[in-house]
Structure 1
Amino acid sequence: MSYLRSLVAVVLVLFSVSAMADKVATLSVQQALLSSKSAENFRAKLKSEFGSEQKKLVELEAQAKKMQQDMQKSQGTQSKEVADKQRLQFQKVFSEYQRLGQELQQKQRDREQAFLQEMRPKLDAVIRKLIESKGYDLVINKQATIYAKPELDITQTVIDLLNKQ
């Protein structure tokens, strides 16, 4: 019941705000950022920058899986010393796999954060320019809307303007 009340309150607020606004638009900021040419170039750059580390990670994963399969196949047919040696080798490879995976993820997150910080002022400028030139009274986050007519969505326009920069 409280969910319904909250929903009704949000709808009433949006209705009253949009009733006062002459020109309304929706925008998916995340989609605009991620669909831009700058984001495509960034993803390609990341792929080339971290390609060798990603390849090593895949190789370590394959090596660990093979070692695990070999240990399972030979379980009970070898001496305790050989089994312990295999287990130790597996743990060493698996630990290296985990370490490298975490390190790679952190590097990628850091680079993504730097990209977003670099793009945010450009995105804000494009949005401000569009709001001023088109005379929007209200721009709503597209993800926060339950329904909006497709023609209210300015996301593609923002992407096009970002790509022109």
Structure 2
Amino acid sequence: MKKLFKAASLSLALIAGSFSSVAMAADKIAVVFPNEIFQQMPQKDQIINKLKKEFQPRINEMKSLEKKIKSKQEKEKRDGALMSDKDKTKLSREIQSLVADYQLKLKAFEEDNRRRQAEEQNKMREKVVKAIEAIAKREGYDLVVNGEAAVFAKPSLNISDKVVAEIGKRK
């Protein structure tokens, strides 16, 4: 029984020792909060404006198409009782055609907009990763963790502001 107890104690001591050596191996740790970084990035407003400018002609085209549809629907409602069956059918088909065209353009717009936003987010993400790597190397961090995944982190470990500043330098 004493041998078993000694063996268990020795095993426990070895395991505890190995955990403490792992903990000591990563002595300099930092956390970053990506959402906070993206919100504070100096390029954020430029990217938003760039995408707005890029998609504005298509937005204007769709607004114009909406007005045409609304106008024709109002005409159908207002003058429908006075129109011949042939004219009613023609107007109804025009409205259906415009609505189908609008839906097709809207779907294409949403897909293109989503794709472009993803492209720009990936570019921003690359800049963030490069900035984090530069800070980690320069300041000797052994580990940089996403703060949103951590249960708890001291505020002094947060280097998000440093990352934003580093990105600002690299414009």
Please report the TM-score for the alignment, with normalisation by the length of structure 1. 0.67
Q: Is 2:28 aligned against 1:28? A: no
Partner of 1:91: 96
Partner of 2:143: 138
Task: Look up the equivalent residue of 1:60 and give its one-letter code.
Answer: L
- Structure 1 vs Structure 2 CA RMSD: 3.3
Deviations 1:31-60 (A, max 9, x none): 434542333222212212221111111222
- Residue 126 of structure 1: how far off its partner (Å): 0.8
Q: 1:33 to 1:79 in 2, by over 3 A?
A: same
| Aligned equivalent of 2:161, options 141, 148, 156 | 156
Q: Is 2:111 aligned against 1:111? A: no
Partner of 2:14: none
Partner of 1:58: 63
**Bigger shift: 83-92 or 61-70?**
61-70
Please report the TM-score for the alignment, with normalisation by the length of structure 2. 0.65
Of all paired residues, the percent bearing the same amino acid is 26
CA distance in 2, matches of 1:66, 1:164: 52
Contact 1:34–1:40 under 8 Å retained in 2: no
CA distance in 2, matches of 1:35, 1:93: 42
- Residue 79 of structure 1: how far off its partner (Å): 5.2
Q: 1:70 to 1:117 in 2, by over 3 A?
A: same
- Residue 26 of structure 1: how far off its partner (Å): 2.7
Deviations 1:86-114 (A, max 9, x none): 32122111112122222222333333343
**Bigger shift: 82-91 or 66-75?**
66-75
Structure 2 residue runs without a partner (length 5+) = 1-18
Structure of higher CA gyration radius: 2
Aligned residues: 149
Query: What secondary structure sits across from 1:140 in the alignment?
Result: strand
Partner of 1:44: 49
CA distance in 1, matches of 2:157, 2:75: 59
